């Protein structure tokens, strides 16, 4: 197994094309095809299924690509550290679900360690991306909301991706409604009382499992659902419509 073989596999997984990969890496198609075939023979697995419609990744291939991404990322960090010819700032990246407390904690880290030696990044994104970024070592830390409904599924996923999960805090479940909502005067609301109102859901990737939803989905079937993939739009809709999202943490701007 060579680093070039892993590099070819990762690039083909992105482009879904031997030709495009060869063009990107400035090598011949036969070079890419031979390298992947030899790696498959060496490991005794099939990485890609090749059909008239293109290339798809096998289950074994997905596992291999996950580890290959880690190796390639670590090699890039080594090159930057020892071959760059100059001092490079250390990088600290966080990917997460929407989280006010995490943003404030991140700001505290920046204040404590300063900008002289570190380069920082923080991204609010979807569940699948959080797992991919941490799994591929592109981010050091991922922050997710987990409920009793999806805990087993998450634990299985963490194990498959070789990730470690640490619980930070526990939160109650809140139904967020606008100040003009018919139930706004209530201190506590039963889930059954919300049935006639649409549930507002932050939409994940279409290929993601419903276990990855941030809302408390559980086995409960909502009669009416409105989906959005934009946080600001969620706030606007809450102000204009009699809708509600069910989430585990407070959203300060409501």
The domain limits of the chain are 3-82, 90-144, 174-247
Which class would CATH give 174-247?
alpha beta
- What six digits make up the tokens of 90? 């250390």
Q: How many CB atoms lie within 10 A of CB 139?
A: 22
In DSSP terms, 202 is beta-bridged to: 228
* Strand (E) or helix (H) holding 231: helix 231-240
Average pLDDT score over residue span 89-103: 85
pLDDT of 208 reads 60
* Strand (E) or helix (H) holding 51: strand 48-51
Question: Confidence class of residue 216 from pLDDT cuts 50, 70 and 90?
Answer: low
In this structure, which topology does domain 3-82 adopt according to CATH?
Arc Repressor Mutant, subunit A (1.10.10)
Of 173 and 6, which is predicted with more confidence? 6
* Residue 240 to residue 231: CA distance in whole angstroms: 15
Average pLDDT score over residue span 172-196: 83
Angle formed at CA 63 by CA 29 and CA 161, multiple of 5 degrees = 140
Look over the chain and give the mean of its residue pLDDT values, rounded to a whole number.
83
Chain segment 143-171, per-residue pLDDT in tens: 988 888 788 888 888 988 888 899 888 87
pLDDT of 31 reads 92
């Amino acid at each position: 197994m060579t680093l070039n073989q892993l590099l070819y596999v990762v690039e083909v997984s992105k482009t879904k094309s031997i030709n495009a990969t060869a063009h990107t890496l400035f090598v011949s198609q036969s070079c890419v095809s031979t390298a992947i075939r030899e790696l498959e023979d060496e490991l005794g697995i099939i990485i890609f299924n090749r059909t008239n419609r293109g290339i798809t990744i096998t289950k074994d291939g997905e596992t291999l690509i996950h580890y290959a991404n880690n190796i390639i990322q670590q090699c890039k960090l080594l090159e930057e550290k020892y071959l760059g010819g100059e001092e490079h700032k250390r990088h600290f990246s966080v990917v997460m679900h929407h989280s006010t407390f995490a943003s404030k904690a991140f700001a505290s880290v920046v204040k404590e360690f300063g900008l002289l030696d570190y380069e920082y990044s923080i991204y609010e994104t979807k569940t699948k991306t959080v797992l991919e970024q941490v799994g591929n070592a592109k981010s050091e830390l991922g922050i997710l909301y987990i409920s009793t409904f999806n805990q087993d599924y998450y634990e299985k996923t963490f194990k498959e991706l070789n990730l470690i999960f640490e619980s930070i805090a526990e939160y109650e479940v809140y139904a967020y409604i606008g100040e003009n909502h018919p139930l706004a005067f209530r201190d506590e609301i039963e889930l059954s009382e919300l049935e006639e109102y649409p549930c507002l859901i932050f939409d994940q990737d279409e290929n993601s499992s419903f276990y990855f939803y941030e809302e408390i989905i559980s086995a409960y079937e909502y009669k009416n659902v409105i989906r959005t993939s934009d946080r600001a739009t969620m706030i606007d809709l809450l102000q204009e419509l009699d809708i509600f999202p069910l989430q585990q943490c407070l959203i300060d701007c409501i």
